[in-house]
Amino acid sequence: MENVTPTIFTETKVRGCNYSYVVTSDGVVVIDTGQLPTKAVALREEAESHGPIRYVINTEHHVDHIFGNYFFKGAGTVAHHQGVYDNFMVVGPELDPFAYAAEALPTDDPEGEALFPDREVYYADPNKGQLVFTGNLTLRVGGHTFELIHTPGHTPGQIAVYVPEERAVFTGDTIFNQCQTWLMTSNVDQWLAALETIRQLDVDHLIPGHGPVTTKAALDDQRSMLLEWKTAVAVAVAKGWSREETVERVHFKDRYPVDIGQEYMMDYINEYNAGSLYDKLTA
């Protein structure tokens, strides 16, 4: 894992979200748990080598941020926003999160197949939130402060985790750095506002949901990407293009690669982004 500061460790080079932990004088705080079983188990072991885990914080409800919670049972209090709790591993018309987690095993974590639970066993206790909040929440562990800031947009329960003592913020998927942005069912206007909320924080280190660790300069790039997507689809609507024409013609495939392990999903991401924006703008 990458050592961002003397107490912050993060993983940016495996399939799924960037998962991290922060070492304090009174234990460890884990931020997101990934989706690959062997990686989640290794994350827990490494975090616990620095002390007991006090909290496991999830920044959103998408499977690549929460599936690993299953392997953190008994390790700290799970904390997340009400929006995460309400949508935790819920099967929807667009995605079965459990099946999606299993899909990654053959290519990205074959050893994890032995650890992967049956569906019924998993859903009996997936280790979802014990500390559930609305709005913002501040946690204090040892000499560190963890400000859990509600930043909806990418998902309704999206949060950023600001650690002022480390001059660092974990943005979750409010930032996709140097890789394809997944809009899907997002609220772009709320997302743009979330970027401005993060911009007000006094930080040197920005740990995104996907892509390499960066700085606040990434806020401008993400803002541009959101505005370009929305404008391109709005222009398509103004031209009278049908949904099918918009999905076929509007894309940003040449802008960035897809994040690690999901290269085969380039068409899916762009088609879903364009289609969901079209539906919102023509509702």
Q: Convert the pLDDT of each residue in 105-149 to its tens digit.
A: 999 999 999 999 999 999 999 999 999 999 999 999 999 999 999
- Residue-wise pLDDT tens digits, 183-195: 988 999 999 999 9
What pLDDT is recorded for position 274?
A: 97
- Rounded to two decimals, the pTM is 0.96
In the predicted structure, residue 59 carries a pLDDT above the cut 90: yes
- For domain 2-216, say whether CATH 3.40.50.1360 is its number: no
Q: At what angle do helices 217-238 and 266-281 cross, to 10 degrees?
A: 60
- Residue-wise pLDDT tens digits, 211-236: 999 999 999 999 999 999 999 999 99
What pLDDT is recorded for position 223?
A: 98
- Residue-wise pLDDT tens digits, 5-55: 999 999 999 999 999 999 999 999 999 999 999 999 999 999 999 999 999
Question: Taking all residues of the chain, what is their mean pLDDT, rounded to a whole number?
Answer: 96
Going by pLDDT thresholds of 50, 70 and 90, the confidence category of residue 95 is confident
What pLDDT is recorded for position 9?
A: 98
What pLDDT is recorded for position 92?
A: 84
Give the start-to-end residue ranges of the domains of the chain.
2-216, 226-281
Alpha carbons 97 and 63: distance in angstroms, whole number: 6
